[in-house]
Amino acid sequence: AQKITQTQPGMFVQEKEAVTLDCTYDTSDQSYGLFWYKQPSSGEMIFLIYQGSYDEQNATEGRYSLNFQKARKSANLVISASQLGDSAMYFCAMSQTSGSRLTFGEGTQLTVNP
Amino acid sequence: GAVVSQHPSWVICKSGTSVKIECRSLDFQATTMFWYRQFPKQSLMLMATSNEGSKATYEQGVEKDKFLINHASLTLSTLTVTSAHPEDSSFYICSGEQGKGQPQHFGDGTRLSIL
């Protein structure tokens, strides 16, 4: 069974600063994918970034980067130069590469202060 | 990018009513779609996996006779909440995948309120 743990129910950051959202996972699979999604208060789920378990380099997408440490089973999301519009709930999720079923963490509510 | 359209966005109806929610992939074919339920301040909980042309696979504890799923085409899956009651009030959100292991793309969700 797969499990995702997000230990930070809430995080605060000043505008323009960087913030790291923690995510650890547990799986017995050798091949898996890790995802981060953003959910604003309006409810939609916005895909941010993906990391495959065999990817040697950390994934980056604009201001988002994924700090993937396979030995520690962690996949932290780093948001650089925070903006007010980054305030939202952030979910870490994983799936088996051979399958599609996503397992979500409990989420982290990020608040960006002006 | 891949777009998933979900309709309606909001539903308010009386107890006992059946409610149908549609999930469409607009610019890709989704052989597999997923239905999630989310209570306030909680994470997404997978209800069922919908496969085009076959029966849906339900998660443990989800009543298949209450939550009817139909995936009649590669671009459309529907969830029908039959004889809805106040405890069915929740946020329902669907997603579609373009390929195994690829990111799922989500609809905007449906807020269901049963009076």
Bridge partners for B78 per DSSP? B22, B70
Q: Shortest CA distance to A93 belongs to which of A46, A26, A52, A35? A: A35
Q: Residue A59: pLDDT above 80?
A: yes
Indicate yes or no: CB of A99 within 8 angstroms of CB of B100. yes
Q: Which residue of B has its CA nearest to A107?
A: B43
Residues 50-109 on B with a CB inside 8 Å of A are 91, 93, 95, 97, 100-101, 103-109
Of B43, B46, B101, the CB nearest to A91: B43
Q: B82 to chain A, minimum CA–CA distance in Å?
A: 23
Q: Shortest CA distance to A95 belongs to which of A35, A37, A45? A: A35
Of B34, B43, B104, the CB nearest to A107: B43
DSSP helix/strand/coil, A114: coil
Written as six digits, the tokens of A68 are 């993937």
Q: What pLDDT digit, counting tens, does each position of A1-50 carry?
A: 789 999 999 999 999 999 999 999 999 888 899 999 999 999 999 999 99
CB B56 within 8 A of CB B77: no
Q: What pLDDT digit, counting tens, does each position of B30-57 carry?
A: 888 999 999 998 999 999 998 888 889 9
Question: Which residue has better confidence, B31 or A89?
Answer: A89
Q: What band does B110 get if pLDDT is binned at 50, 70 and 90?
A: very high
Q: Say whether residue A97 is in contact with chain B using an 8 A CB cutoff.
A: yes
| pLDDT at residue A96, rounded to an integer | 77
Q: Regarding beta strands A10-14 and A108-113, do their DSSP bridges make them parallel or antiparallel, or are they unpaired?
A: parallel
Q: What pLDDT digit, counting tens, does each position of B53-101 carry?
A: 888 999 999 999 999 999 888 899 999 999 999 999 999 999 998 777 6
Indicate yes or no: CB of B43 within 8 angstroms of CB of A104. yes
Q: What is A81-109 written as a DSSP string?
A: S--GGG-EEEEEEEEETT----EE---EE
Q: Residue B13: pLDDT above 70?
A: yes
